[in-house]
Amino acid sequence: MNSEISSDNVSQQYQRLPQVEKLLQLSFVAPFIEALSRPVVTNQIRDALAYIRQSEEFKAQGHMCTQNQVNQQIVTRCQALLKCRQQHVINATGIAVHTNLGRSPIQRDVWDAVTEVNTGYCNLELDLATGKRGMRNGLIPALVQNWIGAEHTIVVNNNAASVHLMLMALAKGKEVIISRGELVQIGGGFRIPDIIAMAGCTLVEVGTTNITTADDYLNAVTENTAAVLLVHQSNFSIEGFTSAPDVQEIADKLPEHVKLLVDQGSGLSNESYAQEEKSIRQYLNSGADIVCFSGDKIIGGPQAGLIVGQQSLLDKLAKHPMMRAFRPGRITLSLLEELLVKKLNQVETGKGIAERVIQALNEVNQWTYSLVEQWSEFAELVSVDSQVGGGSIPYERYPNQGIALTLPGSAQKHLDALRDMPTPIIGYLRRDQLMLNLSTVLEHDKPILFNQLSHYLGNVTQSKSS
């Protein structure tokens, strides 16, 4: 938000500190009130006045200040606070599922399709056939069954909740066996050993960091073992001398009282761009009792955790007291329903953002080349890699062409300036150059990026010539 401050002679004259109410009536304050709320802006004005009141300059001028000094303090504080608000940004990092940028963007036609459901009343917990209280999952179990062959499905608010709920409902007070190579930590401090402990389970480590066999799991089973837990490595990969057991062999040889639980993580189903990643269906077909994964990674939906597998086990999870704490609301459920319908109908907008990014790399390369030609004074065509991101497929890279901008002064300064644009552009630095990987720029963001960068580079050109 750009708020213009008057710099006329009146605003430069020294005066006593103005009243808060008078400042709230100034024209440049109105956009901040609309974006931040009147009470929040009022507090920022009070803080600004307190800062000026305590300053040495204010005291030296006989407890007087200029209107411009007051205005500048208000703008600085309100603009800083405004940057904390959720807002639209342009992703030029090449990371399709970017956790810091909201992971998967929801397709507009998916979002629009559930507008009525979410802006009015809906049958969230009402069985329309009987008029009695119903279950929250709605159509999702039927959709997932047709999508990946799962017997049943429940939905929670994220995949971390999926893991926690599985362990609490099925393994509390008992042993959980896990490979040492899968005792992972993902962003935000989610550590598998801690989650197992918080769920009231006893962790039993088997194998080594790089090699775990089926016998490692089977030999660790006792009468007090409740589950074997397989965990997706999420944000790292181990390469070289490594070996992992066949899931089918583990499932076939586990005794009846031990359940095979899988945190698949990424949500890969039938996408073809990650050949080494084991899909949800593959785990289910190999004998896993329950598989959980994220809804906002490869699927391309809202933040959610989907838990699929044997209905008898999922019924236990659904009845667990913590399910109420983990359950999602209608926005999440309606978006998942609509997305899965489109996925089953093989509609283009049923594809996740990662799949769409990878499929469009050739087209993006052509657009990138055309921009480099237009901005040739500062831009260079360079090789970059696009990634799925979001802790989904850490070992895969997809080569494409990007833009390296060499601009006067600090590259960090220009990176910061791009984030300060009306629609912030998020790039990155590489060897003191400002980098833009356009593979993750959404179609409706392309003209915005072009116009903003063209204007910015034009100002840089003027500065150089003056």
Tens digit of pLDDT for each residue in 72-107?
A: 999 999 999 999 999 999 999 999 999 999 999 999
From CA 333, how far away is CA 243, in angstroms rounded? 38
Q: pLDDT for 117-158, tens place per residue?
A: 999 999 999 999 999 998 888 899 999 999 999 999 999 999
- pLDDT recorded at residue 239: 67
Angle at 310 between CA 281 and CA 250, to 5 degrees: 65
pLDDT, tens only, 191-203: 899 999 999 999 9
Q: In the predicted model, is pLDDT for residue 414 greater than 90? A: yes
4 pLDDT exceeds 70? no
- Quote the CA–CA distance of 191 and 18 in Å, as a whole number: 53
Q: What is the pLDDT of residue 327?
A: 95
Contact of 246 with 276, CB cutoff 8 Å = no
Asked whether residue 1 is domain-assigned, the answer is no
What is the rounded CA–CA span in Å between residue 23 and residue 27?
Answer: 9
User: If you search the block for the tokens 């030296």, which residue do you land on?
Assistant: 60
Specify whether 186 is located in the same domain as 220. yes
Asked whether residue 62 falls in the same domain as residue 158, the answer is: no
Task: Name the phi and psi angles at 153, rounded to 5.
Answer: -145, 140
- Indicate the pLDDT class of residue 463, thresholds 50, 70 and 90: confident
Across 57-66, 168-177, 184-193, the highest mean pLDDT is recorded for: 168-177
72 and 137 share one domain: no
For position 382, what pLDDT does the model report? 97
pTM above 0.85, yes or no: yes
Q: How far is CA 457 from CA 381, 417, 437, 462, 464, in A?
A: 16, 11, 17, 9, 11
> What is the secondary structure of 106-119 as a DSSP string?
PPHHHHHHTHHHHH
Question: What pLDDT was estimated at residue 133?
Answer: 92
Assign residue 407 the CATH number of its domain: 3.90.1150.180
Quick check: is 78 in a domain?
yes
Please tell me whether residues 129 and 278 are part of one structural domain.
yes
Coil, helix or strand for 214? helix
Question: Does 282 have pLDDT greater than 80?
Answer: yes
Kindly state whether residue 155 falls inside one of the protein's structural domains. yes
- Where does a domain end: 350, 365, 381? 350
Q: Are residues 222 and 287 in the same domain?
A: yes
Strand arrangement, sheet containing 433-436 = 379-386, 398-405, 433-436, 428-430
359 and 346 in one domain? no
Q: Write down the pLDDT at residue 104.
A: 95
Domain hosting residue 65, numbered range: 9-82
Q: Tell me how many domains the chain contains.
A: 3
CA-based end-to-end distance of the chain = 27
User: Binning pLDDT at 50, 70 and 90, where does residue 220 land?
Assistant: very high
What percent of the chain stands above pLDDT 70?
95
Structure tokens at 434: 């400002």
Q: What is the pLDDT of residues 143-153, one digit of tens each?
A: 999 999 999 99
CB within 8 Å of 221: residues ≥ 6 apart: 177, 254, 255, 258
* Mean of pLDDT over the chain: 92
pLDDT at 336 over 60: yes
Q: What are phi and psi of 297, to 5 degrees?
A: -110, -110
How confident is the model over 175-186, as a mean pLDDT?
Answer: 88
| C-alpha dihedral, 233 to 234 to 239 to 242, nearest 10° | 20
